[in-house]
Amino acid sequence: MKQKVLFVCVHNSARSQMAEAFLKQMAGGRFEVESAGLEPGKLNPVAVEVMKESGIDISRNKTKSAINLFKKGKRYDYVITVCDESQSGACPVFSGRGERLHWGFDDPFRFEGTHEEKLQQTRRVRDQIKETLRHWISNKISPPNSPNLL
């Protein structure tokens, strides 16, 4: 049975979407993955662009409400908030026995500057998310003392 993972951020427009997509790509056969936001917005076009650079198209993803998932009675083995530290208190709390993790990443919605500067900052967040997931997955599915195959 696949372990269920939910990534949560404020708008479900960038960080949680990227984390969901990367986990599906990197270990989707081992996890059932969703993402949601406290106040779902629309996908961040810069996040869509940098994910395409990584070979993943999230352009057709829909933002989802964490509250609606909760109301549907969804339960997860892992609820991972990816809000930055200034927003971590705004991320919803899910009831149940699942493990809660917090991985703070800067919010691409708040990035300022030219389009290229926003791209650079969002790439940094994308790469941080991917590396954090790579490490987390290797600890979850690799037996102790085995080589990391990811």
Where do runs of H (alpha helix) occur along 2-84? 15-27, 45-53, 66-71
Cα separation of 86 and 104, whole Å?
A: 9
If one counts every other C-beta atom within 10 angstroms of the C-beta of residue 114, the result is: 8
Q: Annotated catalytic, 91? A: yes
**In the block, which residue shows the tokens 């939910």?**
6
Please say if 83 is a catalytic residue: yes
Whether 16 contacts 82, CB under 8 Å:
yes
Beta bridge partners of 100: 79
Q: Is 74 considered catalytic here?
A: no
Q: Of the residues 21, 26, 50, 91, which is catalytic? A: 91
- Exactly one of 43, 83, 119, 137 is catalytic; name it: 83
Residues carrying an active site annotation:
9, 83, 91
